[in-house]
Amino acid sequence: MVCRDRLRPPKAAGTRVFCVSGHVKRPGNYEVPMGVTVRELVYEHAGGMRSDKPIKAFIPGGASAPFLTPAHLDVKLDFESVAAAGSMLGSGGVTVMEEGTSMVWAAHRLMEFFYHESCGKCSPCREGSAWLVQTMRRILAKRGRMEDLETLLDLCKNIAGRTVCAFGDAEVAPIQSTLKYWRQEYVDLVNEAEAANLIRLEPAGRP
């Protein structure tokens, strides 16, 4: 009998191609050893930040990977370390965002992507992505209500793990993680909506 540990790949062997995108000086594809950190990827390979602003957030593994914060800049980019930090290495698409980027805006952009790409085969994903995107559009347009934040979390909880393919787990990552680390930005937008009295009842069924 073969020891199961020997069949497992070593934790961070070989190289991996990372596609570095977002606010860095030299975005592009970099083949580097597994286990590189985002700090090294950004400052040693991708030339640093484009306007020398600090990093506000990054995504370590493509659109489906939860956002991480500057506190995670020294996490090694291998499967286990990124998972332990609460995200995933995924596709190796590393997106870096500078200070000043709205996290609600960023999560909404990704949600539009997931809404478009949902194939529609199963209802939690098909209906859920539509509901999530509409709620995000509303919050971003400063017409959101405080209850919307709970609605978002509730929807996410009821999509992930309940779909035919892994797309359901993926589509909730941006909203869940930005709500976890930057909830105040959502709250601020809702407060602005309330202060400006912009919230209107929107009858269902009207486009």
Partner 1 sequence: MTFSEKYKDEIADILSRYPVKRSALIPLLYVAQRDQGYVTESAMQEIAQLLRLTPPQVYETITFYTMFNLKPMGKFHLQVCKSLMCALVGSDTLLGWINSKLGIAPGETTTDGLFSLSVVECLAACGTGPMMMVNDDYYEQLTEDKLDRIVSDLRSMGTSPLKSGPFMWPEPLRSTDRVTG
Contact 25, 51 (CB under 8 A): no
Q: What x/- string results for residues 143 through 182 when contact with ligand SF4 is judged by CB under 6 A?
A: --------------------xxx-xx--------------
**One residue of 12, 35, 39, 158 binding partner 1 per CB under 8 A:** 39
Q: In what order do the strands lie in the sheet containing 93-98?
A: 28-33, 15-22, 93-98, 55-59
* Minimum gap (Å) between residue 195 Cβ and partner 1: 27
79 binds, among partner 1, ligand SF4, none (CB under 5 to 8 A by kind): none
Q: What x/- string results for residues 89 through 128 when contact with partner 1 is judged by CB under 8 A?
A: ----x-x-x---x----x--xx-xx--xx-xx--------
Rounded to whole angstroms, the Cα distance separating 142 from 185 reads 12
Contact 60, 17 (CB under 8 A): no
Based on the shown chain and the rule CB under 6 A, indicate whether residue 121 belongs to the binding site for ligand SF4. Answer: yes
**One residue of 14, 28, 100, 161 binding partner 1 per CB under 8 A:** 28
Distances (CA, A) of 123 to 25, 129, 145, 186: 42, 9, 25, 27
Closest CA to 60 of 43, 31, 85, 26: 85
Q: Which is nearer to ligand SF4, 104 or 173 (CB)?
A: 173
Strands 15-22 and 93-98: parallel
What residues line the site for ligand SF4 (CB under 6 A)?
A: 118-122, 125-126, 163-165, 167-168
